[in-house]
Amino acid sequence: MNVNPITPAKAPAADCGCGSCGFTPVTIDSEDCTACGECVEVNPAIFGWDAEKMATVIDAKGGPFKDVVKAAEKCPAQVIHPGTPADPNEKDLEALIARAQKYN
Ligand code: SF4
C-alpha cells in the first residue's frame, strides 16, 4: 500500500471565502500600525485606512498575493499577516508562500 508523502505547502484548492476551503485572508494588527503608508502604497485596493487613520484590510482579494507579501515585508511594525493566497494559480506561489510564513 502506498503512503502519501508529506507534501510541501501549496495554495488552497479553492477561493470561495467560506472558511473551510483553506483560504485565510490577510490581516493587520491595526492597533500597532504606525500609519507609515507603505502597505497602502503597495496596493491601495487591498490596504486602506480605518476611521482612526490606521491601516486596515479593504479587500483581501483586491490584488495578488505577491502584493500582500511585499506589504508584509515592507511593514516596519511587522503587523501584516499575509494569510494564504486567494488565487491558487498565481505565478511563483510556492516562493511567495515561503516568504509569507515569516509573517503569519
Ligand atoms: S506598512 Fe505596516 S505600519 Fe505602515 S501603514 Fe501599513 S500596517 Fe501600518
pLDDT digits (tens, 9 = 90+) for 65-99: 999 999 999 999 999 999 999 999 999 999 999 99
The 3-state secondary structure of the chain, one letter per residue: CCCCCCCCCCCCCCCCCCCCCCCCCCEECHHHCCCCCHHHHHCCCCEEECCCCCEEECCCCCCCHHHHHHHHHHCCCCCEECCCCCCCCCCCHHHHHHHHHCCC
The pLDDT value given to residue 19: 55
Asked if residue 90 lies in contact with residue 15, where contact means CB atoms within 8 angstroms, the answer is no
CA-proximal residue: ligand 1, atom 2 (nearest): 75
Q: Which domains does the chain have, with CATH numbers?
A: 27-101 (3.30.70.20)
- Average pLDDT, whole number, for the chain? 86
CA-proximal residue: ligand 1, atom 6 (nearest): 39
Give CA separation, 24 vs 1, 4, 73, 85, in Å.
34, 25, 18, 8
Q: Establish whether residue 75 lines the binding site of ligand 1, counting it when its CB lies within 6 angstroms of any ligand atom.
A: yes
The ligand 1 atom nearest the CA atom of 36: 4
Q: For residue 10, what pLDDT band results from cuts at 50, 70 and 90? A: very low
How many A from CA of 89 to the centre of ligand 1? Answer: 27
How many A from CA of 16 to the centre of ligand 1? Answer: 27
The pLDDT value given to residue 6: 38
Nearest Cα residue to 68 out of 11, 21, 16, 13: 11
